Amino acid sequence: MRLFEKIVFREEILEHSKLIIGHDQFAYKKGTNTTSALIKCQHHWLKWLDEDAEFIISFLTNRKQKVVVDGIITRYVDINKGVPQGTVIGPFLFSLMVDDIKPKQPETNVLVKFADDMTVSAPVKSNSDYATMEVRNIKNWARRNRMTLNLTKTWEMLLSGGTSKPPPAPIEGIERKEWLKLLGVTFKDDVCCWDLHVNGLLSKAGSRMYILRVCRRYGYRKEHLSYLFDSIILSLFLYGIEIWGSALQKKYLERIDKFLKRAYRYGYVLKEYKISELIETRDRILFNRILDNPEHILYELLPEKRQKI
């Protein structure tokens, strides 16, 4: 009976089965096996992934730009650098591009990136010039990736901490400054001195009070003035307060509190703000946000939890 089955299958069914059974069936066919089935799956998976890659290549290829100024439209020009504004994947692709910029000496040196701003922190040792080494490392990266490092916007600041040791020589080609503005916060070579930053805040806040005075003259109600104060003035003091607020001396607190008290007394805000309370609130929010999320980028800075005895 089995022999008869084989004869019927070979002579009457086999040729027709090739036309009837689809190519998506890989079993019970000569020359096919599980490997063949998996190869087809893998082929299409990679093909679809390649289509995403082709989309990204197309996204970055033949980009053009024009500028409109006072109704005058320039002609399109080709661009091959920069991050296309208003795109979703543009920032990700830029972050991916600069991701391989790593500190040459990661055991001691720290590299912090925020978009295209980079801050390199390196300790000064008597037998090593870590800072110069890191600058050279970034220059080499820029050269390999056909990028230009703008040395006119690159500065060095030496944090001495009151030491009597002679300072190291400046890095060649880079200006050494006594203060730097990093991501909107002004630091001085004396890390506990915030005169420049607080002076800048109070100057900006004072100039913006003019807007509130004009709005009140035009009939803005007190609650509307308070919203405006929070948006354009209080936001100045809140920005980066977790950094400079923790080191504030009494003289800084008093100057800011006088400004906030004056704004309340003149009727520009609904409540009287105190800078010390703002500092504590913002510090607690940030600390809890880090503590509750082990994947937070600052979680690694927390000390190890103490074991209960």
pLDDT tops 90 at residue 37 = no
pTM attached to this predicted model: 0.74
* Model pLDDT, residue 91: 86
C-beta of residue 108 within 8 angstroms of C-beta of residue 122: yes
State which amino acid sits at residue 52: D
* Model pLDDT, residue 74: 92
- DSSP-derived secondary structure letter, 97: H
C-beta of residue 116 within 8 angstroms of C-beta of residue 94: yes
> Where is pLDDT greater, at 264 or 26?
264
Average pLDDT value for residue range 260-280? 92
Question: For the segment 200-235, what is each residue's pLDDT rounded down to a tens digit?
Answer: 999 999 999 999 999 999 999 999 999 999 999 999
Question: For the segment 286-301, what is each residue's pLDDT rounded down to a tens digit?
Answer: 999 998 888 888 888 8
Consecutive H or E run containing 225: helix 222-229
Sorted by where each begins, the domain ranges of the chain are: 1-53, 100-163+171-177, 194-292
Separation CA 64–CA 76 (nearest Å): 6
- The DSSP string of 157-221 is ----TT--SPPPPPPTTSEE-SEEEETTEEEESSTT--HHHHHHHHHHHHHHHHHHHHHHHTT--
Separation CA 177–CA 172 (nearest Å): 14
Separation CA 178–CA 287 (nearest Å): 31
